[in-house]
A and B are shown apart, each in its own frame.
Chain A
């Protein structure tokens, strides 16, 4: 178990105070937050690069706050790989074992082995400069995995990669985690990572943790506007919520009236995830309490899905696969209905 107890650090302009975080053994914990939230500094402090002003870091009940990074048994992978340019891929991967004085033959075997797992056996004699981004990140991951760290810190490991490579490497991270049972702390700003990988999500902002919980909890019940924006909640509105006698809450936003299930009234934010909206070209009869007609103003292709922007009096965004768009014959200017449940409207206050 990795425990961070009331940690404070001051680093140039940046600081965070009284940070508490627990990561249990074998947990895949994702830290989410905008740039400048102090996520990297937190990871580097856990790795032992920066010394905290106050607080303790415990690893398996042992206080490691004053132990230098080389004796913590914590691995680190950065977004931009940080492969040593003057060494080959094999030398990079074997670097840690060499530092530990492991014999050449043993080292070679271990390097070959991990390279095979990561699918980079054919690259061992190459220099990092000649590799693609994905290959470099595989090498960097192999380099830190080889030492079997008790905690692996990943600082946006997939952010510099193209979509396809990212998806592939994400699956491999999942497999590695499953296979090794390693405790992983992973910084990201992609919400796909959260659903695919995380056991638990920690949201950081301005050096503090603003929310913690399972991916589902974070995504479904974001505690603030910022998290909602961040987690891909595209449809964010502000309006006045009034409780009706029937118990349902009505939120007036511009010209339309949203139905929601919530305890909150008054000035609120309402968020609807695009994937919770059903698009139809005819009026849609269902139990769902929100249905609005509008005109498609834009179709944005994002790869697998396309975002459909609809003007229903307010601008709403839904997502569809390319096939569905073709099947429904939706183009710009098409009249459509957007339908979603009252429970799909996430109401929160800042």
Chain B
């Protein structure tokens, strides 16, 4: 193709200029975070017991909550895409509500729902010897509650890109309804779902508001990475706080790259 060098218009200069400023600001902000502590101090805090505990707790709770999210999201997303039922649009609003809701609000709602002091359900659970609030289990519940709608959304857009006719053909070839889903739709949705898992997991790693409300910020008990960041900031222990922040930054970056990778391959629309 022939390329002609033309004088850029004012509009082009303006758009590109603003983009450039945004990029520079982002780089500066993140570099500031990375370069703030001396490498030795950073290494020291990264190896500290508290940070290790936070990493382990975050990873474990995020993995478990992501699995739950996946198990919830697949049937919900599939229903929303493939089936027609009464009140579907209201279900849709309800499912999306947690997306725009501040996680703090979700956390308070959960706390009131599960606390033995405020709710019959909490009382019933405590009678059974199950204490949820202010435990690591609460972290998982909070993460699921906040993240499941995201996973549903991603799974939904993935399923909606797969024409139901694939299943129709599979049915005429001998598959049961579930068989067609398992052998055709699910494998076709694989990449989209993996992308969703990555994003959901990374969001769970960083979930703060809802976790703070339901699980509290108890050092070495419900201390996930974001909670560690919060606790150490409030005590003025900047090196510790920043090492927690850096780990979260790296996780976000890696998750985004992975999501892009799986998303790219998912560029095929099977409509």
Contacts and interface: CB of A to CB of B under 8 A. Distances in A.
Q: Do A and B come from one complex?
A: yes
Interface stretch (A70-78, A225-233, A319-327): A70-78
Given A12-B84, A70-B176, A78-B165, A95 B188 contact: no
B73 to A, nearest CB: 21
A271 interface: no
Contact of B168 (A12, A76, A129): A76
B84 to A, nearest CB: 7
B184 interface: yes
B4 interface: no
A84 B171 contact: no
Contacts of B68: none
Given A70-B175, A99-B174, A84 B168 contact: no
Nearest to B169: A82
14 contacts: A12-B84, A44-B168, A48-B171, A49-B168, A68-B177, A70-B179, A74-B172, A82-B163, A82-B166, A84-B166, A99-B173, A99-B175, A144-B169, A144-B173
Q: Among A80, A99, A143, which residue has the most Cβ atoms of chain B within 10 A?
A: A99
A82 B185 CA distance: 12
B49 interface: no
A38 interface: no
A226 B84 CA distance: 34
A143 B190 CA distance: 24
A129 B268 CA distance: 10
Interface of A: 12, 44, 47-49, 68-70, 72, 74-76, 78, 80, 82, 84-86, 95-96, 99-100, 129, 140, 143-144, 147, 149
Closest 3 CB pairs of A and B: A99-B174, A96-B173, A69-B171
A73 to B, nearest CB: 9
Contact of A76 (B163, B172, B268): B172
Contact of A70 (B84, B165, B171, B187): B171
A85 B171 contact: no
Contacts of A70: 171-176, 179
A85 B270 contact: yes
Interface string B227-271: 000000000000000000000000000000000000000001010
Nearest to A155: B165
B170 interface: yes
Contacts of A47: 168, 171-172
Interface of B: 84, 163, 165-166, 168-177, 179, 184, 187-188, 190, 268, 270
B170 A95 contact: yes
A152 to B, nearest CB: 10
A197 to B, nearest CB: 21
Contacts of A68: 171, 176-177
A96 B184 CA distance: 13
Contacts of B165: 78, 80, 82
B172 A78 contact: no
A85 B169 contact: no
Given A85-B188, A85-B268, A99-B179, A75 B163 contact: no
A119 B154 CA distance: 41
B240 to A, nearest CB: 47
B172 A72 contact: yes
Contacts of B173: 70, 95-96, 99, 143-144, 147
Nearest to B163: A82
Contacts of A72: 172
Contacts of A74: 172
A49 B188 CA distance: 20
Contacts of B187: 86
Contacts of A99: 173-175, 179
Nearest to B190: A86
A160 B179 CA distance: 29
B127 to A, nearest CB: 46
A84 B165 CA distance: 11
A99 B178 CA distance: 13
B171 A49 contact: yes
Given A86-B187, A96-B174, A69 B168 contact: yes
A68 B84 CA distance: 19
A162 B190 CA distance: 33
Contacts of B84: 12
A100 B174 contact: yes
Contacts of A86: 187-188, 190
A96 B173 CA distance: 5
A78 B169 contact: yes
A70 B168 CA distance: 10
Given A68-B176, A72-B172, A86-B188, 8 more contacts: A49-B171, A74-B172, A80-B163, A82-B168, A84-B166, A85-B268, A140-B169, A143-B173
Nearest to A50: B168
A144 B172 contact: yes
A147 B270 CA distance: 25
B57 to A, nearest CB: 37
Contacts of A140: 169
Contacts of B171: 47-49, 68-70
A90 to B, nearest CB: 14
B43 to A, nearest CB: 45
Nearest to B171: A69
A95 B173 CA distance: 7
* Among B84, B165, B179, B187, residue most surrounded by chain A Cβ atoms (within 10 Å): B165
Nearest to B270: A85
B184 A84 contact: yes
Given A82-B163, A82-B166, A69 B188 contact: no
A12 B172 CA distance: 23
A70 B174 CA distance: 4
